[in-house]
Amino acid sequence: MLTFAKAVCDSLIKSGRIEEDDRRYYVTQTMAYRLVTEVYNDLLGDKEPADQTVMLAILLINSGLLKDYYPKAEADKIKDLIEQTAHPDKYLLVSDVIKRINHEVAEIVSAVES
């Protein structure tokens, strides 16, 4: 598992999506800004937002990180848009996926720290 995680991280470093600092990995500022802008524009666009955008927004909301990336007014607008566009059956699926992801991330972190 550790070899796989290292390979994924190395690939993301080479593509410029994350940076490494003393065995810790960080999303680059450029990538973070681009993602934040794309999510906001996709949610506020004329078309229905992509499922990936909705899932990312839900992850940001559920993790409490939405406020770290958006001012309060924009964060509130995003929450409202998600409530309007997310179908209840999809939201339950996303919620289940989030729980599974959190479990897997905890397993990876535990393996890396050992």
What predicted TM-score, i.e. pTM, was given to this entire model? Answer: 0.58
pLDDT confidence tier of residue 1, bands split at 50, 70 and 90: very low
* Per-residue CA distances from 11 to 20, 27, 62, 107 (Å): 12, 13, 28, 21
> How many whole angstroms separate alpha carbon 25 and alpha carbon 9?
8
pLDDT of residue 71: 92
Rg (CA), the chain: 16
CB 29 within 8 A of CB 65: no
- DSSP-assigned letter for residue 45: S
Grouping H, G, I as helix, E, B as strand and the rest as coil, residue 49 is coil
Where are the domains positioned within the chain? Answer: 29-113
